[in-house]
Amino acid sequence: MCCRAKGVWRLLELHIMLITMNIITHALLGWSAGTRLSRQGKDVALIAVASMLPDVDGLGAVIDIINGGAAHYFTEFHHKFGHSILFCLLLMPIVYWLSRKNIRLTAWFVGIFHLHLFCDIIGARGPDGYQWPIYYLWPFSDIGFSWFGQWYINAWPNILLTILLIFDFLRRSARLGFTPLFLVSRGADSVLVDTLQKRFGGHSES
């Protein structure tokens, strides 16, 4: 691999790492909103997943890593199909079905989906200074939406927001009596909630 290719590869790795951190912030944002919309763990998980889903179009990076070459699939698809209104419309009936035909929750899914896009536009500038446009109308149009004042993906507003969301997550988990761990193990979730309740107080509301 030549020096230039190594430089591009390091930049891709850095970008992927930062995007992974960004996905965690999106997940926390969705979880925080979800716990204010429903007391049901599955509903909250649904909203949290909805908050992350647009970044599914960044999975091309995995193929690029396996191929060990240039960031072809990542740059070709990131911020395109996952961040488009088409993807949102395709997901709506699935969310409606998963939420047991809950129109309110489905409407909130649309809102959280678009909150993800809004966050990307205002604060997801790449480490190289590149502003990843949102191709909201893809594949019908290649118009990319961006904001000239967009801050860097690792800028202090994102870090501060993430810290506040982590704190909110811990407090809400203690209060509501569940964490995302319930999706994997009820027992482990119960142990974690007990620990959080000892630290943050409160008891399970459900």
Interface contacts to Zn ion, rule CB under 5 A: 54-55, 120
Three-state helix/strand/coil letters over the chain: CCHHHHHHHHHHHHHHHHHHHHHHHHHHHHHHHHHCCCCCHHHHHHHHHHHHHHHHHHCHHHHHHHHCCCCHHHHHHCCCHHHCHHHHHHHHHHHHHHCCCCHHHHHHHHHHHHHHHHHHHHHCECCCCCCCCECCCCCCCCCCECCCCCCECCCHHHHHHHHHHHHHHHHHHHHHCCCHHHHCCHHHHHHHHHHHHHHHCCCCCC
Using CB atoms, what's the residue nearest to Zn ion? 120
- Distinct helix (H) and strand (E) counts, the chain: 8, 0
Q: Of the two residues 20 and 195, which places its CB atom closer to Zn ion in the complex?
A: 20
Q: 138 or 182, CB closer to Zn ion?
A: 138
Q: Quick one: 102 or 158, whose CB is closer to Zn ion?
A: 158
Minimum gap (Å) between residue 18 Cβ and Zn ion: 12
CB of 25 to Zn ion, least distance (A): 10
Which position has the token pair 């943050």?
200
Q: Give the SS3 label for residue 169.
A: helix
Calpha distance 133→86 (Å, rounded):
16
Nearest distance in Å: CB 45, Zn ion:
19
Nearest distance, CB of residue 22 and Zn ion, angstroms: 7
Give the nearest distance from C-beta 178 to Zn ion in angstroms: 26
CB of 56 to Zn ion, least distance (A): 9
Q: Which residue's CB is nearer to Zn ion, number 54 or number 177?
A: 54
- For Zn ion, the closer of residues 43 and 120 by Cβ is 120
Cβ distance to Zn ion smaller for residue 5 or 89: 89
